[in-house]
Homo-oligomer: A and B are copies of this chain.
Amino acid sequence: MQVAAASQARHDAPRPPRVVPIHIVPRTAATRHDLPRCSTCAMRAICMPPGLTTDQFARLDAVICSTRSIKRGDALYRAADAFQSIYTIRAGSFKTVVIHRDGREHVTGFQIAGDTLGLDGISAGKQNCDAIALEDSVVCIIPFAQLEAVCRDMKPMQHHIYQMMSSEIVRESSQMLLLGTMTAEQRVASFLLNLSKRFKARGFSAAEFHLRMTREEIGCFLGMKLETVSRMFSKFQRERLVHANGKTVRIEDAEGLARV
C-alpha cells in the first residue's frame, strides 16, 4: 500500500520531495541484516513513544538491529511457530489469519507500515495466527526478551508497550462490535473509513488508495462473502459515496459513508 502511495506522494511534490521515503528498499532480496535505525525512521512517530533521548534511541537501535524481507503471499510466521520476536512493518502490508480446527478461516486484521505484529504470541509462547504478506514487505525484528529487558529500565518504552497492547485490545473490541451488530453495508463503510484514517495518519491521501487485499479477504475480515463485499462497493458507487475501480478506491463523500 505505501509503495503505491509513496510514488504518488512523489508525483504530488516533484522537487525536493517533502515526504521522507518510508524505508530504504533493500538492494537485493538476500539483504537480511542491514542496519535499521529507529532514531531516523520515518515511522518512529507511529511505532515509538514520543520524546526519547538520543541515548534511549541508541539502546533501542542495539536491540532492533535486523530486518527481514517477505515476498507477497509468504508468511512472516505461522500459527504454532515458537514465539521469539515481535515485528513492526517498515514497508508493505500483511493480513493476520486465524484458522479453526474444522478449517474455518478468519482474517483478524490488516496491518500496514508502522503497525506491529506478533503481540498475540506472548501469551502462549507460540504464534496464534498466520501473518501473510499482501505485497513484498520488510519488517523490523524486535526480539521480545531483549525488549522486556529494555522496558525494565526505560519507563517511556515500558508504558508504550502496554499502550500498544491495550490499543490492540480496543481495536479488536470495536471489530467485535462491527461483527456483532452492523449490517453488511455498515461494515464495508466502516472498513473503508478506517483504512482512510490510517493512511492519513501516515501522511498518505485519505481520499484515494490502493487495496492490497482481495474482495474475499475483505469479506473474511468483515464476516461476509466476497459477493456481498462487491455488491456493497457497487452500491456505494451508485450512491456517489465511493469510486471503486478494482483495487483503486476513491472516497468521494466521507460524511455520507459515515452516516450509512
Contacts and interface: CB of A to CB of B under 8 A. Distances in A.
A245 interface: no
A148 interface: yes
By DSSP majority rule, is chain A's interface helix, strand, loop, or mixed?
helix
Given A152-B153, A180-B223, A169 B172 contact: yes
A179 B182 contact: no
Nearest to A161: B162
Interface residues of A, number: 45
A181 B106 contact: yes
In the complex, the count of this chain's copies comes to 2
A100 interface: yes
A234 B108 CA distance: 32
Given A173-B172, A223-B181, A166 B121 contact: yes
Interface of A: 98, 100, 104-106, 108, 119-124, 128-129, 148, 151-153, 155, 158-159, 161-170, 172-177, 179-182, 220-223
28 contacts: A98-B174, A98-B176, A104-B177, A106-B176, A106-B180, A108-B176, A120-B170, A120-B173, A122-B162, A122-B165, A123-B166, A123-B167, A128-B170, A128-B173, A129-B173, A148-B155, A151-B152, A151-B158, A152-B155, A161-B162, A162-B165, A165-B169, A168-B169, A169-B169, A172-B172, A175-B176, A179-B223, A180-B220
